[in-house]
A and B are shown apart, each in its own frame.
Chain A
Amino acid sequence: MAKKSIKIRAKLKGGVTTVKCLMNHPMETGLRKDKKTGEPIPAHFIQDVVAKHNDAEVMTAQWSGSVSKNPYVAFKFNGGAKGDAVSVAWTDNMGKSEMGSAKIK
């Protein structure tokens, strides 16, 4: 198991759950060049993100390399109860994937 690469905080307020998520990822666009060798650094970025609440998908996202390095994303959904599970999973252009989860507070 890799070290925790997704930090999630989910908070319920006024019937709406806000989820804040910080992911660890280089998010290379493929346009940068290695300063020493001059070789282009290959594109390596998160393409797909799936967020679930108690196993039901609440949101999916598709990203390009223009999302910042170590992406921060926040989203909201109606409902949710304290203790419910929220999970966020990503897949990148190289086929790697990670998942993190948290309980709604």
Chain B
Amino acid sequence: MNTDMKRRVFLRGSLAAGTVAVAAGAGLLAPQAVLAAWPEKAFMAKAPEEALSGVFGSGQSAASDQIKIKAPDIAENGAVVPITISTDMAKVETIALLSTANNAPLVALFNMGESAAADVSIRIKMGKTGDVVAVVKADGKLHSNRKSVKVTIGGCGG
């Protein structure tokens, strides 16, 4: 009985170690030096300013028409709302997408590499009618724009 337990623990341990080794070896995870840890506090923040501070160190941004937000005026299905954010601004480093109606407003962060063009599309869940806010960090400064989206059926399964 005792040897049985020891064998099981041993097998479990070696299986776990093996899996980790494979994952690390396969290099599936992005180079840790470049990719910052997932910013949990920012994503859990209940208020947009708090979320933005968590990401950029500040919740303040200058309103800018140069940021284009393409989103439906009325979203029939709040579970799948297509959003496109684009801008002609130079030196875009990061684009943050928030949905003010969601209980944790920060939805996505896009970090631009050297050759990236500031034009991203994604589909998000919106709990109810609210604003989609795009905050762009370009050349060290924060700019933002927002668009109101009406949601007829909420998207968080509630």
Contact = CB atoms under 8 A, between A and B. Distances in A.
B121 A67 contact: no
Contact of A97 (B28, B117, B121, B122): B28
A74 B121 contact: yes
A62 interface: yes
Interface in B57-95: 79-82, 84
Interface stretch (B2-10, B108-116, B135-143): B108-116
Interface residues of A, number: 36
B18 interface: no
B158 A68 contact: no
Given A31-B156, A75-B119, A77-B115, A64 B30 contact: no
Interface of B: 23, 28-31, 34-35, 38-39, 43, 79-82, 84, 99, 102-104, 106-117, 119-125, 155-158
Given A32-B156, A60-B35, A72 B110 contact: no
17 contacts: A29-B156, A50-B35, A58-B113, A59-B110, A59-B116, A60-B110, A63-B108, A65-B125, A66-B102, A66-B104, A66-B124, A68-B124, A69-B79, A72-B121, A76-B116, A77-B116, A99-B28
